[in-house]
Each structure stands twice: as structure tokens, then as C-alpha cells.
Amino acid sequence: MIRVIAIARLVLLEMIRRRDVYALMIVLAAMLVALLSLNVFGLGGTAGYVKETGFLAAGLLGWSFAIQTGARQLPREEQSGTLFPLLAKPVSRWELVLGKWLGAWLASCAALAAFALVVLAAVACKGGRTDIATLLQAYLLQITALAAVVALAICFSTRMHADASSTLAYLITGTAFLLTPRIPHLLTVATPGAREALLVLYYLLPHAEWFDLRRRLVHDWGPAPWSAFALVVVYGALWTVAALLAAWAALRRKRFDRGAA
């Protein structure tokens, strides 16, 4: 476990040096300043509109940051040649996968927290309020989803380079968020063949919409039932474990070539 924590610490230090979070925070802050100063569709002056748009942007930035961070961990180590002395420490391949995931996930959690603070500051400027219990639930569900997203990106990166693995992670998670919630409606109008294909997608793709509590935050509906909240956390944890085990299995069978690096 000490080696896992040491690898995660190195990932976090690298994220601090890269300063990607600061650049994304500036982008988010600029967008929110524009929302505060412009009356978009007549809604720019309302705290609810700023809250909804801001938390959506924060979630998208956190999602993108998690995929990019997870996808580049293993390919960068292999290309730079630092993977070989790392595995000779000795560090097992499971410890390598777990350490890289833990560091990338913690960096993503910190980035999402920073984005949320920027949004909350903008909402406060408009006199809006946010329920603390609902905000806590929303954040915990979001970082649970990010855990699975990072694990998925690392899994793909064991067999692909960083760009390909991040693209595939974007495709799968984006499809899960946009398509999966609409499948029940599509089933009512689909042909028999298309209905079977939609059912396969419905059960295979992760249900990203279960981790989204933006409506409860924006409309002050209060926190979700804690039993349902716990089930979603378990669901996300199962997806994370499955992706990490797949990454370990793929990396375990992979042979590295020093000359290629």
C-alpha cells in the first residue's frame, strides 16, 4: 500500500506542476463572468440560471480533466522509459494501476472541488443559496462517477496511446450520458430489431444520469433519499473495480520493449 500511495503522490505532484486545473478554472470563471454580465435569453440575471449553467460546465470540465489525466498516465511512462525502473523497484503491475488511478482520481476530485467553488462564488454574487446536504450528495456522486471514468481511461490506455484511449473514453461516457436516459422512450417507437439493440446498450452502458443531481441543486428540491444515494455509490464503485481489474489483466499480459520506448 505504501508503494501505491507513493505512485499516487507522484501523479498529484505532476498535476500541480502541469497547472491544467488553473487554466480550466480561468476558462470557467470567464464563462461565469459573461453569464453574470449578460442577460442571456432574459435569464442572465437569475441565480438559478447561473447555478444550472455553472454546475453543468463544472461537471463537463471535471469529466474532461479526469479522462485526460487517466489516459496519459501509463502511455507517458512507457514513452519516456520511466516505466521500466518503476516496475523494477519492485512495483507490481496491480500496484502501478492502482497508484496511477488513485493519483489521477484524487487530482480529479480536487479539480472538481475547485470548479464547484468558482460556481458557488458566482451564485453568491447573485444572492443565490445552495442547500449544503444536496451539494454534498452531488459532489460525492460526481467524484464516484469520476472514479469510474478515470479507471476506464486507464484501462483503455493499457492497450492504446493516450489520444486513442481518451477518445474512446469520451465516446463511451458521452454516449452513456446522452443516450442511456433516452432509451426507455426510444423503445416505445423502435422496430423489433432496433429495440433489442437498444436494450443491449441500456444494460451494457453505464448509467451516468444517476450521478447527476443538478436539478435538485438548481430547484432546491433537497437531498435525494440516502438509500438511493448509497445504491448509486455502490453502482459506481462496482464499475470502478471492474475497470481497474480489466486494466490490471490487460497490463499483466503486456510485454514492454525498451527499444520501442
Please answer whether residues 97 and 247 qualify as being in contact, where contact means their C-beta atoms are separated by less than 8 angstroms.
yes
- Output 242 or 86, whichever has higher pLDDT: 242
Check pLDDT > 70 for residue 260.
no
> In the structure, what pLDDT confidence band is assigned to residue 19 with cuts at 50, 70 and 90?
confident
Residue 41 is predicted with a pLDDT of 52
Least confident window among 24-38, 76-90, 117-131, 139-153: 76-90
What is the spatial distance between Cα 53 and Cα 115, in angstroms, rounded to a whole number? Answer: 12
Residue 152 is predicted with a pLDDT of 94
How many residues in total does the chain contain? 261
Highest mean pLDDT among 30-34, 61-65, 81-85, 189-193: 61-65
When pLDDT is averaged across residues 98-121 and rounded to a whole number, the result is 92
When pLDDT is averaged across residues 50-54 and rounded to a whole number, the result is 83
Q: Is 59 exposed, middle or buried (0-12, 13-18, 19+ CB in 10 A)?
A: buried
Q: Rounded to 10 degrees, what is the CA torsion of 22, 25, 26, 27?
A: 130
Check pLDDT > 80 for residue 136.
yes
- Output 31 or 61, whichever has higher pLDDT: 61
Residue 222's region, left for phi above 0, alpha for psi from -120 to 50, else beta, is: left
Please answer whether residues 11 and 103 qualify as being in contact, where contact means their C-beta atoms are separated by less than 8 angstroms.
yes
Check pLDDT > 80 for residue 48.
no
Residue 251 is predicted with a pLDDT of 84
